[in-house]
Amino acid sequence: MSEHWAPVTTVARAVYDCGFNYVPGLDIIKARMNPWQRETGYCWAYDMAAAHMSMIIDCEPFYFVHGDRLWLIELWKGQYGLETGAEIGLYVDNLSPAIRDDHNLLFLPVPGRNRFFSAPKDSERLIMHFRLYRDGELLIERGPEPHWWLNGWRWGVFTDNTFRLRMDVQITGFPSGLMRDSFLAAVALKQYFALPLGKTGIQFKFHIPRTPQPASRALAPVAQQNNKHLVDAYNAYKRWKGFTDNDPNNITALDEPATMIQTAALAMAARIRSVPAGARVLDAASAAAAKVNAAMPHDVVTAYHDIHNFFQKNRRKWHHTSRLGD
């Protein structure tokens, strides 16, 4: 199965510039090993922002301590605009009180949410594997492979309710049984039925999230209606053009006169809005949204770069936002 792919069209180049590749053998979009997202790390504000960018996804973070550092393994699954998909992310933060003022996790109302996490080094990656099922039917499988952010999305698939999705997760390759057991305890604490896998692995199923979801999930009805329109427009474009897979190089709409999919894509981009979680992030996110909306009608790639620059250059503002709570 060949995974070699190179972007040719405007849409394909935008996909690549956003940190992703198309996998011909699996007909999915996946993140590259070293996309710009690896530099921007993670904080809870990203999940708070998701629904504002038409991503209606279940989030399940697991925080656990090992080696004087706080680790995070988070799972996501749901509808990401045009696509249904899932993710496993691995992140880490230093527990030193000289760097953080919240090092005692026992006193945190929601442990880890007021932290900014970095992506791990290559040597700290874990071996990840997941199968994503919808209504019991296998939709996407990724791994097993060493990774820090294993993911996969299938274009043109609309999932109206995230609870239709089940993610079977296996993570192995923990450097010690102690680290695995610490993660296992975090999973069990949220009342998942988790099983050890060998001496340094774990497996469990992610179906209904135990963690309270971001307040922005209240936007789901409107966002999902918009997502359904976008998926319908994309699939109509596929039928019109006569292609049967989801290779972004098939989409020439932005290299030709305006079509229904271009109109739908621009309309979706115009709905990107800020995160209602305090004045500081509201100002920052509103400025980014304004840049995106101004650029999108003229240059799709420029707009994607604006989103990139916002997360990369303003990530500390997002960190502070996560301290405001949800």
| pLDDT tens per residue across span 273-322 | 333 344 444 444 444 444 444 443 344 445 545 555 655 555 555 444 44
Q: How big is the CA angle at 48 (ends 44 and 52), to the nearest 5 degrees?
A: 150
Spatial contact of 80 and 45, defined as CB atoms under 8 Å apart: no
Check residue 3 and give its pLDDT: 59
Q: Could you tell me how many residues make up the chain?
A: 326
Please give, one letter per residue, the 3-state secondary structure of 89-133: EEEEEECCCCCCCCCCHHHCCCCCCCCCEECCCHHHCEEEEEEEE
Model confidence band, residue 76 (pLDDT cutoffs 50, 70, 90): very high
Spatial contact of 90 and 62, defined as CB atoms under 8 Å apart: no
pLDDT tens string 161-193: 999 999 999 999 999 999 999 999 999 999 999
Spatial contact of 15 and 248, defined as CB atoms under 8 Å apart: yes
Residue 268 three-state SS: helix
Residue 288 three-state SS: helix
Share of the chain above pLDDT 70, in %: 70
Say whether pLDDT at 154 is over 60. Answer: yes
- The amino acid that residue 174 corresponds to is F
Model confidence band, residue 246 (pLDDT cutoffs 50, 70, 90): very high
Average pLDDT, the chain: 80
CA-based radius of gyration for the chain:
19
- Work out the average pLDDT over 95-101: 48
Q: Which of 156-165, 214-223, 289-298 has the lowest mean pLDDT?
A: 289-298
How far is the CA of 37 from the CAs of 149, 160, 210, 214, in angstroms?
A: 10, 27, 26, 21
Nearest to 134, CA basis, from 87, 191, 77, 89? 77
Residue 147 three-state SS: strand
Check residue 4 and give its pLDDT: 85
Check residue 26 and give its pLDDT: 96
- Work out the average pLDDT over 82-92: 97
